[in-house]
Amino acid sequence: MTNYPHAPSVCPLCNTNIAGNACHAIGCAMMRRTALTKRHDGIAKCLHAFFERHDLPSQLEPRVDGERLKPDVEVVINGSTFFLDVSLVSPVEATYVQRASEDAFAALRSREQHKITKYSEVAREAGGVVVPFVLSSFGGYGEKASGFISTLRSALLAAFDPFSDSTAGDPVAQLLRDIAAATQRGNAAAVMEARNRSGIRGRDAANLIWGRARLNPRHSA
């Protein structure tokens, strides 16, 4: 990762050491109840909407006091019930960066295991299986999410009329595009919110978010 000579060493929002981390805003802990939660919910809604468009029985779990008591989305595919719990990981955050530098998927696997431990009993009692739908903030998919996408693709291909034009192309391509768009919209919202909450304006604000400026509000435009 590029190190910028005038990058701030500490995030003004969460006081985390961010030296060399030009993408801290899309994983900052202070964004988790605001922009990053909206990013997460946007992806869950993409999944639910896609399932409904393809007549797959699905339910979006409501939030209670800001939390969900069960995984985010339930869907039934060919008689099997899947409980998807969406999660995004920023592999450049301090918790993961060392492992991610050696193994790009280490952070995703760690989060997958956490979700499996948290929800496997809930899913089992409901007669289904938990799928930790874990993504990188930069767009990569965890192993379990990729496996589910393959299952979904196979089910949709099997259900298509072989004489229909709808068989052309990948049946989950639009879902993947929707998820990518929701992820990047959420990243942009986190960057803008961090900018606004940092108290810094103008060019220095953009530089701060992307790790290129000295933390000095007096020099703001």
Lowest mean pLDDT of 39-43, 93-97, 132-136, 168-172, name the range: 93-97
- For residue 215, the tally of other CB atoms under 10 A from its CB is 17
pLDDT digits (tens, 9 = 90+) for 139-185: 899 999 999 999 999 999 988 765 555 545 789 999 999 999 999 99
3-class secondary-structure state, position 82: strand
Measured at the CA of 44, the angle between CA 64 and CA 25, to 5 degrees, comes to 90
Share of the chain above pLDDT 90, in %: 43
3-class secondary-structure state, position 137: coil
Q: Which two tokens stand for residue 71?
A: 């995984």
Sorted by sequence, the CB contacts under 8 Å of residue 140 that are 6+ apart come out as 104, 105, 108
Separation of alpha carbons 107 and 61, rounded Å = 25
Separation of alpha carbons 3 and 76, rounded Å = 47
pLDDT digits (tens, 9 = 90+) for 61-92: 866 555 667 899 999 999 999 999 999 988 77
Q: Which two tokens stand for residue 94?
A: 């301090």
Q: Please classify residue 169 by burial: count the beta carbons closer than 10 Å to its beta carbon, then call 0-12 exposed, 13-18 middle and 19+ buried.
A: exposed
Under 8 Å between Cβ of 120 and 150: no
- Give me the pLDDT at residue 214, please: 38
Mean of per-residue pLDDT scores for the chain: 79
Which comes out higher in pLDDT, residue 201 or 86? Answer: 86
Instruction: Please check the confidence at residue 215 and state whether its pLDDT lies above 50.
Output: no
| Domains recognised in the chain with CATH numbers | 40-193 (3.40.1350)
- Give me the pLDDT at residue 195, please: 73
Residue 183 parent element (H or E): helix 173-198
DSSP state, 128?
S
